[in-house]
Amino acid sequence: MFEALREASTCGSVRCFFGCGDKNLKDHSVTTRLGAQQVYWGRSVDENDGNGRVELNQELQEHPTQVSRPRAKTLEELRLDNRQQFDVYTQHVVFLLLSSIMSQWKQIQQLDIKFLEQVDFFYDDNFPMELRQVLAGWIESQDWETASNHESMATVLFNNFLVQLERQCSQELNFLQRHNLKRIFHQIQMKYKTNPVHMASVICNCMREERRILSTASMQEQGPLEKSMQNPVALEKQKVLDNRVAVIRSSVQMLDQAVKYLEDTQDDFDFRYKTLQLRDPVERNSLSMKQEVTTLQEILNRLDFKRKAREILSKIADVLKEIDALISSQLNPELNEWKRRQQIALIGGPVLIGLDQLQNWYNSCCSYVSQIGSDL
């Protein structure tokens, strides 16, 4: 009997409980594991079937069942299991955190005015800030860095960009805003339809600059105690430098606008002049032709390219001199002073702060020189 029951258990039978019919088991039970099934061997509970139960117990003693226990895990396996559980938990936490973080553009809008002025500097006609505002979520979800190196991907993104912008135009309820978006739509379409890679590069640079500004702003956040410990003289010096940098920024922006005005006027004159040449010679004495010639003369007088160019070059020279004076007279001495304070800090002096601001001033001067080079 025992052999038959054990064979049935090892073949995948259900649990076998050896008791006495519907009577309650008494005394203790011995549990063994056969394969994946459990068999309970109870002791005698009834005088009538006690002999049979004793025989079973005797047979169990004569043929002990091999108890199969799970192998204990090694320390390395336990570490691996814990690591896998930790990785799953970490991924879940990171996903929750990322889903709750505000968009990059929202973070930019919450910065101080001095950082917003830096953002305003690199958003121009190549990529107007209006587009960054209305398509913020879609723009941040695209891989512009990869597209700037792959023409096929840049073309796809360019077409999708136009689709998104056209959809935004149709959904805009404000008449003036809708008009501006349509105008920008046509400008972008004409500007980048033959070179979508350039548009991807422009947007990639804008996104990179935004991240740099956000990083700088986060590093400059200081507690109330640190702010109260700052030297009033140093704060006043920082304010003077900020004002000088702001003046240079304003001058560079005015130069940029002057160059763009000169280019637009020149393009207008070229277009009208070529259109006039294509007209029928018979119409040269007509009133409309005379009016067009008068308009061209006015544009040409207003253009006065050589005089305008000399004025712009003179202003550029002044701005470059101002930048050079700022770097040589204030920024370089500040950098040398910071180096000296760093040496003092290494031997127990106060912890240094303000290097990020100094770096921002240098970066601003470099970007202004780069912008002037582009205008030239």
> So what's the pLDDT on residue 95?
40
Tokens in use for 349? 């002096």
Contact 41, 18 (CB under 8 A): yes
> So what's the pLDDT on residue 224?
41
Tokens in use for 115? 């950082």
Q: What is the pTM of this model?
A: 0.38
Per-residue confidence of the chain (376 residues) as pLDDT tens digits?
444 444 444 444 434 333 444 444 444 444 333 333 344 444 434 444 444 444 444 444 444 444 445 555 666 666 666 565 555 445 444 444 443 446 788 888 888 888 888 888 888 888 888 899 999 989 988 989 888 888 888 999 999 999 999 998 888 888 888 888 999 999 999 989 899 999 999 999 888 888 888 877 776 654 443 444 455 666 777 778 888 888 888 888 888 877 877 777 777 777 777 777 777 666 666 677 767 777 777 766 666 666 777 787 888 888 888 888 888 888 888 888 878 877 776 776 555 556 777 788 888 888 888 878 877 7
Tokens in use for 273? 């002049």
Tokens in use for 371? 């912008």
Strand, helix or coil for residue 338:
helix
Closest alpha carbon to 117 in 135, 102, 129: 129
Could you tell me the domains of the chain? 2-62 (no CATH), 112-222 (1.10.532.10), 231-266+305-376 (1.20.1050.20)
Q: Taking the chain, what is the end-to-end CA distance rounded to the nearest angstrom? A: 104
> So what's the pLDDT on residue 309?
73
Closest alpha carbon to 352 in 234, 175, 247, 210: 234
> So what's the pLDDT on residue 284?
62
